[in-house]
Amino acid sequence: MDVELKEMLDDFESLKRALPDPSHQDSIIKLQRRAESLISLAQSSHARRSKVKDMSAEVIDSNPYSRLMALQRMGIVENYERIREFSVAIVGIGGVGSVAAEMLTRCGIGRLLLYDYDTVELANMNRLFFRPEQVGMTKTDAAVQTLSDINPDVVLESYTLNITTVKGFETFMESLRNKSFRPSTHNSGVDLVLSCVDNYEARMVVNQACNELSQTWMESGVSEDAVSGHIQLLIPGEAACFACAPPLVVASGVDERTLKREGVCAASLPTTMGVVAGLLVQNTLKFLLKFGQVSPYLGYNALKDYFPTMQMKPNPQCSNAACLERQKEYILAKPARDADAKAKEAEASNLTECPIHADNEWNISVIDDSEIERTDFPSSSDALPEGLVHELPSAVEFQKFPEPEEMSTSIDDLEDLRRQLDALNAN
Ligand SMILES: [Zn+2]
């Protein structure tokens, strides 16, 4: 097919040259561009890899998961393969959402649900992910095209809809409730919702849906001037919801609804959006695979490279009724939670310590600090090849300085010098 398409491009070129009137060339140029995008599509479909049934830790060039499964061997993640059981919904496939979707796809997430109503424009090309040949496609379809090529193991669902409309909200809720991927889930069919939208109204809609479903979600945002951003973890009932304390309303008394002004072109940088997407997915991986500390809130100030963190409790006077219900449930479940924590603590103390890596291929052994102090081995710096000498004293010799006698000598020298100066001044 490649050869035929390339021949077609040559035909267009000769046709263009043969036309006497240059104004007729526009339509030929358009056809040429379409043929070029078909060539690149054909090339990308050739490189498509086949599905992988089980994630393997085998270290071979053809294994797409070897570097991820190594997290298990390094003792960071207990069971990496669990990632295939999880569903993550991403609302807003823009500068942050699309990059987050790609990261999760490359990590081998089980299922991704993508929501957006917008189409790809040339004005989006300052950001990562979308390509010029995808201009005009819906962002969800373009994302599915790219992501399914990168990792065909991920189950992708694309929802081209606006969640802030009545119909859109219904479909959004229905898709979150769908448990067909993993029937054992509790409240909803997804493990986490990531909000990557760019306006207050859509955030409030995600907040409403997640409070109703008691669904944990993470919010993300990048400022209009493109030099700061944040991520936030929202657990209904346990942490502040978006209506409990919308960050800007509290900080400056400004209504966020007035912020997205018509005709005002917000700035955006691929760097800031990439950083925020990275922080968001890092927190997602820690949350899902249970490693490290999951951040309740993490800000990013690009001008000062400052990353503030904080924790926000729910507001007992929150205007969102579903939030108040979740808060009540959380307080009622406290005795059960405490008992559970106690049991886990007891279980942990009963566990006997054992080496993390019983067999290690590098033959690394851990030596007690006191043993090192006792051992009187020659330092590696002593063993110089024949003919070479040290220019500086060794650490052992250096520590010998300054000897008290030598100190007194230098003080004598100083006093002598002062006497000489005094004599000069007297003259
Ligand atoms: Zn609330």
Distance 23 CA to ligand 1 centre (A): 61
Tally of CB atoms within 10 A around 229: 23
Q: Output the CA torsion 324→330→335→337 (10° steps).
A: -170
DSSP one-letter string for 390-418: -SSPPHHHHHHPSPHHHHHHHHHHHHHHH
Distance 328 CA to ligand 1 centre (A): 12
Looking up tokens 């219904």 gives 170
The model's pLDDT over 102-156, given as tens digits with 9 standing for 90+, comes to 999 999 999 999 999 999 999 999 999 999 999 999 999 999 999 999 999 999 9
Which pLDDT tens digits describe the chain residue by residue (427 residues)? 667 777 888 888 888 888 877 777 888 888 888 888 887 777 665 568 889 888 888 888 888 999 999 899 989 999 999 999 999 999 999 999 999 999 999 999 999 999 999 999 999 999 999 999 999 999 999 999 999 999 999 999 999 999 999 999 999 999 999 998 988 777 789 999 999 999 989 999 999 999 999 999 999 999 989 999 999 999 999 999 999 976 554 445 555 555 555 566 889 999 999 999 999 999 999 999 999 999 999 999 999 999 999 999 999 999 999 999 999 999 999 999 899 999 988 888 876 555 666 666 666 666 666 555 444 444 444 565 565 655 555 555 545 544 444 444 455 666 776 777 677 666 5
- Write phi, then psi, for 62 (nearest 5 degrees): -90, 0
d(CA 271, CA 249): 27
- Please tell me the distance from the alpha carbon of residue 358 to that of residue 158, in angstroms, as a whole number: 45
CA of 214 from ligand 1 middle (Å) equals: 12
Helix 334-350, helix 321-332: angle, nearest 10 = 50
Cα 272 to middle of ligand 1, angstroms? 28
Q: Is domain 66-340 in CATH 3.40.50.720, yes or no?
A: yes
Q: How far is the CA of 202 from the centre of ligand 1 (A)?
A: 16
Q: Catalytic: which of 196, 265, 318, 354?
A: 265
- Specify the pLDDT at position 403: 47
Measure 245 CA to ligand 1 centroid, in angstroms.
7
3-state secondary structure of 385: coil
Rounded to the nearest angstrom, the distance between the alpha carbon of 403 and the centre of ligand 1 is 68
State the DSSP code for 211.
H
Determine the residue type at 395. Answer: A
Ligand 1: centre distance to CA 316 (Å): 8
Backbone angles phi, psi at 101, to 5 degrees: -65, -40
Adjacent-strand bridge partners of 112: 88, 156
Task: Please confirm, yes or no, whether 107 is among the known catalytic residues.
Answer: no
- Contacts of residue 215, defined as CB under 8 A and 6 or more positions apart, other chains included, come to 176, 187, 188, 190, 193, 209, 236
Amino acid, single-letter form, for residue 101 = A
Q: Coil, strand, or helix at residue 197?
A: coil
DSSP, residue by residue, 149-184: HH-TTSEEEEEES-TTSHHHHHHHHHHHH--SS-TT
Distance 313 CA to ligand 1 centre (A): 9
**Cis bond upstream, residue 335 (ω within 30):** no
**In 254-372, which ranges are E strands?**
297-301
Q: How far is the CA of 196 from the centre of ligand 1 (A)?
A: 19
